[in-house]
Structures are given as C-alpha cells and as structure tokens.
Amino acid sequence: PEFTEFLHREFPRQAAEWQPTLSRRGFLQLVGASIALAGLTACTPTQETIVPYVAAPEEMVPGKPLLYATAMPQQGYALGLLAQSTDGRPTKLEGNPDHPASLGATDHFAQASILDLYDPDRSQQVRNGENPATWEEFLTALRGGLADQQASGGAGLRILTETVSSPTVAAQMAAIMEQFPNARWHQYAPQNSDNLYEGTTLAFGQAVEPIYHVEQATVIVSLDADFL
C-alpha cells in the first residue's frame, strides 16, 4: 500500500500500469531462469567443419597430441622442454626429463610463454613507430642507417637484444662490432641477473654465474633469494 501511494503521488500516470502481482520470490525466479538460459546459450559449441588432409603431415593423428623436444632461451641459457602440439597448434609446455638443465621441470615463465602465441596484442608485422610497414621498407631504412654510420664507426649505433648465449648470434654480433667498432650492444631481459652479477663481482672480483651444490649443504640461509 505504501508503494502504491508513492506511485500515485510521484507518477500518477504510471500508477495505473503497476501490477503488484509479482512477488519478490517470483521476481528472483525469473531473474535466475534468465541467467541460466543466458549461460546455456554461451556454452553452445562453435560449429566447425572437419576436413581431412589431402597430404597428412607425418606422425599427426587428428585429436591426438604430439610431443616435440625443444628448448627455450631463458636468461641466456637453454631450458629443455617438451612442447605438446594438438592438430598443429602448440597447447602446452612441460620440462624435458632427458635434458640436463630442466630434468623434467619448468617454471611459471615457461608455462606462461605459451600464451604469447595467442596474445591478440602481440606484434604481427613490421612497424615504423605506430604505422605498419613491410620488410622491404625495414631493410631499406636499415641499409641507409648503417651507411650513415660508416664514417663514425657506428658511434650513433645501438643494438638492443635479449640475453644471448648462442655462439651463432655471438659470432654475428662480433662481425657487426668489428665493422662498427664504436657501436654498442646492449642485452636486456625483464627478469635479469644484474644483482647476482654485482654480488659475484664483490665476492670474486668478476661477474660469474654461480653453480650451487645444495646437496653438500647442511643448513641454507636465504635472504630474499629464490635459489631454488
């Protein structure tokens, strides 16, 4: 009655249209049914057409995962992995038990790296600033830029890469630095070991990679260091 009186007072034209026959329980039932139906609609599988291969790839069976032994560079080192491929699409990464660096284990960085392949925001083409470009345009600009640096020996040339331990890449970079002796090569990774190398420099006089023999330790005191 109070609500009906409020309608007559505030909205006299709409008061006659109000039908106070729907209870609170009935309203909740209708809302719940609507949500359930919406959920069922969202769960409808996408219709796809299964087309057989004309020339089937070797060792590929539709619907059966295929494992490949591979390696992933991480902080300059190779992490042995087993990549699971389903119908030609990588879907999972696990450690390779036969690789001495992983022994079948992986970390969260390796597990999450599979998402990079399906990231809708990943770079899918050459870009010049914010504008799309082609490989031909990139090579033309690169050759022009390198030609301008010849006179100064590459004083204005900077090369930025991820952490590299590949002998092939190191040999290529050595050839570039020989041609441009004043250039600089910078290696960067979001997850780096700068603090570790600074510590080994203080302890041993040079930046080295420590190798821990934890099996020989009786007690390990870790101060903000995830040595495992």
What single DSSP character describes residue 165? -
Does residue 14 sit in the same domain as residue 97?
no
CA 221 to chain centre: 33
Report yes or no on 96 lying in a domain.
Answer: yes
Segments of the chain assigned E as strands: 66-74, 77-86, 89-95, 127-128, 131-132, 158-161, 184-187
Cα 77 to Cα 191: distance, rounded to the nearest angstrom: 13
Which residues, listed in sequence order, are joined to residue 160 by a DSSP beta bridge? 186
Question: Does one domain contain both 151 and 223?
Answer: yes
Domain count, the chain: 3
Which structure tokens are listed for 175? 């050839």
Q: For residue 169, tell me if it sits in a domain.
A: yes
Sheet hosting strand 77-86, strand order edge to edge: 66-74, 77-86, 89-95
pLDDT digits (tens, 9 = 90+) for 70-126: 888 877 678 889 999 887 788 888 888 988 877 888 888 888 888 888 888 888 888
Q: Which residues pair with 68 in a beta bridge?
A: 83
SS3 content of the chain, % helix, strand, coil (to 5): 35, 15, 45
> What's the CATH code of the domain at 97?
2.20.25.90
Rounded CA-CA distance 8/190 in Å is 66
4: pLDDT confidence band, cut at 50, 70 and 90?
A: low
Residue 3: which pLDDT band, with cuts at 50, 70 and 90? low
**Residues 74, 31 share a domain:** no
Domain-located, residue 50: no
For residues 108 and 38, membership in a common domain is answered with no
Confidence (pLDDT) at 181: 92
pLDDT, position 204:
92
Residue range of the domain that includes 220:
138-228
Tens digits of per-residue pLDDT, 115-138? Answer: 888 888 888 888 888 888 899 999
pLDDT score of 63 more than 80? no
Q: Is residue 131 part of a domain?
A: no
Tell me phi and psi for residue 89, to 5 degrees. Answer: -120, 125
